[in-house]
Structure 1
Amino acid sequence: MASNDHHNHRHHVVLFPFMSKGHTIPVLHLARLLVRRNATVTLFTTPANQSFISDYLSDLTTTRTFSILSLPFPENIGDGVPPGTESTDKLPEISLWVPFARSTHLMKPHFEQSLESLPGPPVTFMVTDGFLPWTLDSANKYRGGIPRLVYYGMGNFANAVSRDVSEGGYIHRFDSDDELFPVPHFPWVKVTRNDFDQPFTDRKPSGLHFEFIMDCVVSAVNSFGQIVNSFYELEPAYADFDPRTWSVGPLCLIEHPRGGESGRKTPPWMEWLDGMLEKGKPVLYVAFGSQAEISREQFREIKTGLEKSEANFLWVVRKNETELDDGFEVGSRGIVVREWVDQREILGHQSVQGFLSHCGWNSVLESICARVPILAWPMMAEQPLNARFVAEEIKVGIRVQTSNGSVRGFVTAEGLEKSVKELMEGETGKEARKKVKEFGDAAMEAVQEGGSSWKALDDLLTLLHGSETHSR
């Protein structure tokens, strides 16, 4: 038991994740972790997302110290967002993300009303997504003010590097999008302008997207601190860059009790993996997340590249990526899945020996925890930075080869074929496999009692208990 658990039962924590699976799932793991530390937890969501959360946290729904509350979400956002959309995975295209994210502030009156009427002990602090900047004002209003911690769903490396190159317009000193330049506080790290998305690369940023990002930045700066889904041993220099961050992960290692799942039917793709294991055939897992938009031409190159690589593969695709149906015969070497999958379950299968990934932070951590090396193919957001971290900083993977060497370059079938073979069979792949095992072992130690992440959460809860006592 934690040394300060006798304090923790006094905490009533509000959690409010952004309406996106990649942002929500780690916060659900955090909810389970806080309940185990004897905190009372209230998690806010919207009606369309509640059933997913209730199912995911079925072990907590009968616990008196945990509850889920739904807030009405605006039905007609406009700007092309289909009515009734309450999650980013339901958006028909990624360009609608900004109006969707901006519309969440319409929930603010309902959120504040619900906060005031919550049963049980008063709320002592809240953890809300960085894309819900308006919740800082709600935290400041609640009974004289409570601490708000930010959760962004990114690692310390991407967070620190982004801030460092943005300050003082440093990124705009370089004209070429593909010119490598050193990061001021971390000169051993070399990045390009193409490692960053708009509006960060705009010399004179403006518009609704920029205004929303600035709202998020200002809100984060004025919050108590940041919860990071990482562990100190993975990125120590970058964790130390901001003393107001607490690395409490990998949150995916906070296990769901599986005692009630004995009757669960084994999915066909897991049966296929079992068969590959029996035959002694290693498998490449391929998944690019739920948000990435891949062109028809690029899809053809992926198909051809996988076929030529002769690797066994399991490819999870979005339902709207029907281009795969156009004459793609995977035969016995591959399987294509068009359903939602338990990614950790797949990565944890003994036959899976590589992961062709978009390098979303959740995927990076899950791959590390499963000791599976990564073939990094970033698509958007901070993923190019995550790919640099994976391949150049901790060396648990390699970069996919683009046709022109650019971070955002086109990947030909030949480039993909060569990259897959290097990861699965080459010397660099073997070294990555050794490295990822080391970090995977360190991740397990971090979340155990006495580990760095365990201590970080314990320190945070004690600090917040002290600030709450002082404020009375």
Structure 2
Amino acid sequence: MGSLPTLHFAIFPFLSQGHIIPLLHLSRLLRLRSAAVTIFTTAANSPPICAALADTDVSVVELPFPQHIQGLPPGVENTQNLPSNSFFIPFAKSTKLMQKSFEKALQTLNPPVSCIISDAFLGFTLHSAHKFNVPRLVFFGVGAFPSTMYQVLGREKPHAAAASLDEPFPIPGFPGLELTMNDFEPPYNEVAPSGPYVEFMEEQLASMAASHGMIVNTFYEMERRYVDYWDSKIGPKIYCAGPLCAVAPPRTAEEKLYVRFLDEKLAEGRPVLYIAFGTQAEVSPEQLREIALGLERSGVSFLWVLKSETVEFCPNFEERVRERGIVVREWVDQLEVLKHEGVCGFLSHCGWNSALEGITAGVPILALPFMAEQHLNARFLAEELGVGLRIMPTGGSVRGHVVAEEVERVVRELMCGERGAEARRKMAECGGAARGAMKEGGSSMGTLDLLIDEISGRRSRP
């Protein structure tokens, strides 16, 4: 009896850094399990992908990005290069025009494609999977908690009776859990949401529901309650395969200014707060000024990664804090920074990738969400898990302007206070569980093996 055909996974990430990076880690894991892996992307996104996978034999196929799309600036092939978030829908919709070139490329794969793993935003790949008679797995780049909460909100509408955006209401099926409409991104916090983004997401969710399953970058022990609910009441089945950042290969050590800074502060016995808000969040100069003033007044040492070319929102800020804080405008290896022994806190927008990197490194999180599902992530981290604290806006709402006094107070509490010490203890436990899930014999690795066996079973049937 001959050996089974080699499995071949076709992986198609959405064209956004936060969506691409975890799927590169997943590609490594699948390749280590003797599966062939091909990643599909565009010419502009290909170089960093190829560089990240240079030590593997994962294949990268370039597809042409649609040209002359109405409402979309020419030459943009990644969401991080969009002028603003208002361009997202035209960009996301344009990816549907890649279906023909994707399927043409699938025909050339050797061995033939066994399974398509595509981002949830690329719903058209379900039709491609049907054409090639292979299963489609959806990769969803957020955790089980926000995914489940949005589904419950849309189906059960527990917010219908709430008198205001900030009035707590109970979540059906989850005793003791209360949320507010402001925990959800507009327009989804409306009773009958509508608009272009809602229409786009409904299309993607319909494709997801008809898929074989959903790979989620999380681990079962952390989100058991929400994974079980999803599997029993929503579907398709969740495969917990994370945190995928735990298998990121170490980078070649480079002499960087920020690394020297961290080393110096460690030698001085001064713990450092790391601050980064991702690539997509649009933070106003006024809000950045309050954050800067709060950091200055807190007295803690910090490393702030900032997209802005200047800090004109707070004149002379860098000069005033130069003995204990630095602002970095170059690319930073965030996971390596978080793993540095001197980093003892992470002021984050609570994007899911950043949250998982903080958890994997065991660094407690100071939550300051801005957009998308980040407010729910902040709730989950600070209140459900207790692995961090939250900076709150004025006026008692979870949304709005954060003032310097609040930043100063909570930064000090995280770095020096009792609540920070408790968050650090809980994060150490959670981080250990996260790393354990990604070891051989861990829950996420076992789930990945189960998934591979399922796909192999499909291939072995006549």
TM-score range, shorter chain: over 0.9
Amino acid at match of 1:253: A
The alpha carbon displacement at 1:321 in A equals 6.2
User: What CA distance in whole angstroms lies between the structure 2 residues aligned with 1:18 and 1:386?
Assistant: 21
Q: Work out whether 1:218 is the aligned partner of 2:212.
A: no
1:246 — aligned with what? 239
Q: Deviations over 1:387-430 (max 9, x none)?
A: 01101111000111221121112100001100101111111100
TM-score (norm 1): 0.93
Q: Deviations over 1:146-167 (max 9, x none)?
A: 1111112111111112111211
CA contact (8 A) 1:76 1:84 kept: no
Q: Which moved more, 1:41-50 or 1:238-247?
A: 238-247
What SS is found at the alignment partner of 2:377? helix
Root mean square deviation of aligned Cα: 1.5
The alpha carbon displacement at 1:181 in A equals 1.1
1:235 — aligned with what? 223
User: What CA distance in whole angstroms lies between the structure 1 residues aligned with 2:174 and 2:403?
Assistant: 33
The alpha carbon displacement at 1:257 in A equals 5.6
User: What CA distance in whole angstroms lies between the structure 2 residues aligned with 1:269 and 1:324?
Assistant: 22
The alpha carbon displacement at 1:465 in A equals 1.6
TM-score (norm 2): 0.95
User: What CA distance in whole angstroms lies between the structure 2 residues aligned with 1:236 and 1:44?
Assistant: 32
CA contact (8 A) 1:305 1:417 kept: yes
2:266 — aligned with what? 277
2:152 — aligned with what? 164
Q: Deviations over 1:15-69 (max 9, x none)?
A: 0111111111000000000000110001001100000101111111xx2xx2000
Amino acid at match of 2:26: L
User: What CA distance in whole angstroms lies between the structure 2 residues aligned with 1:309 and 1:205?
Assistant: 41
User: What CA distance in whole angstroms lies between the structure 2 residues aligned with 1:173 and 1:23?
Assistant: 36
Decide which of 341, 345, 363 is 1:350's aligned counterpart.
341
Amino acid at match of 2:289: R
1:289 — aligned with what? 278
Amino acid at match of 1:301: E
Trace 1:282-361 onto structure 2 (pairs within 5 A).
282-319=271-308, 322-324=311-313, 326-328=315-317, 329=319, 330-361=321-352
2:142 — aligned with what? 154
User: What CA distance in whole angstroms lies between the structure 1 residues aligned with 2:282 and 2:310?
Assistant: 9
CA contact (8 A) 2:158 2:169 kept: no
Decide which of 445, 452, 456 is 1:454's aligned counterpart.
445
CA contact (8 A) 1:361 1:383 kept: yes
1:58 — aligned with what? 54
CA contact (8 A) 2:298 2:409 kept: yes
User: What CA distance in whole angstroms lies between the structure 2 residues aligned with 1:172 and 1:109?
Assistant: 43
Q: Work out whether 1:134 is the aligned partner of 2:133.
A: no
1:73 — aligned with what? 65
What SS is found at the alignment partner of 1:187? coil
CA contact (8 A) 1:98 1:208 kept: yes
CA contact (8 A) 1:75 1:85 kept: no
Q: Work out whether 1:113 is the aligned partner of 2:104.
A: yes
Amino acid at match of 2:247: I
The alpha carbon displacement at 1:320 in A equals 5.4
User: What CA distance in whole angstroms lies between the structure 2 residues aligned with 1:18 and 1:208?
Assistant: 18
Q: Deviations over 1:188-219 (max 9, x none)?
A: 22111111112312333333211101111111
User: What CA distance in whole angstroms lies between the structure 1 residues aligned with 2:202 and 2:432?
Assistant: 38
CA contact (8 A) 1:158 1:386 kept: yes
Q: Work out whether 1:33 is the aligned partner of 2:29.
A: yes
Amino acid at match of 2:23: V
Amino acid at match of 2:302: F
What SS is found at the alignment partner of 1:174? coil
CA contact (8 A) 1:59 1:256 kept: no
Q: Work out whether 1:441 is the aligned partner of 2:432.
A: yes
User: What CA distance in whole angstroms lies between the structure 2 residues aligned with 1:321 and 1:385?
Assistant: 31
Q: Deviations over 1:351-379 (max 9, x none)?
A: 10000000011111110111100000111
Q: Mind listing any 5+ residue stretches in structure 2 that lack a counterpart?
A: 232-236
1:3 — aligned with what? none
The alpha carbon displacement at 1:324 in A equals 5.0
User: What CA distance in whole angstroms lies between the structure 2 residues aligned with 1:35 and 1:122?
Assistant: 16
User: What CA distance in whole angstroms lies between the structure 2 residues aligned with 1:108 and 1:320?
Assistant: 38
User: What CA distance in whole angstroms lies between the structure 1 residues aligned with 2:77 and 2:311?
Assistant: 24
What SS is found at the alignment partner of 2:159? helix
Amino acid at match of 2:49: I
The alpha carbon displacement at 1:169 in A equals 3.2
2:234 — aligned with what? none
Amino acid at match of 1:133: G
CA contact (8 A) 1:248 1:456 kept: yes
What SS is found at the alignment partner of 2:137? strand
CA contact (8 A) 2:139 2:216 kept: yes
Q: Mind listing any 5+ residue stretches in structure 1 that lack a counterpart?
A: 1-5
Amino acid at match of 2:300: A
CA contact (8 A) 1:299 1:323 kept: no
The alpha carbon displacement at 1:238 in A equals 1.1
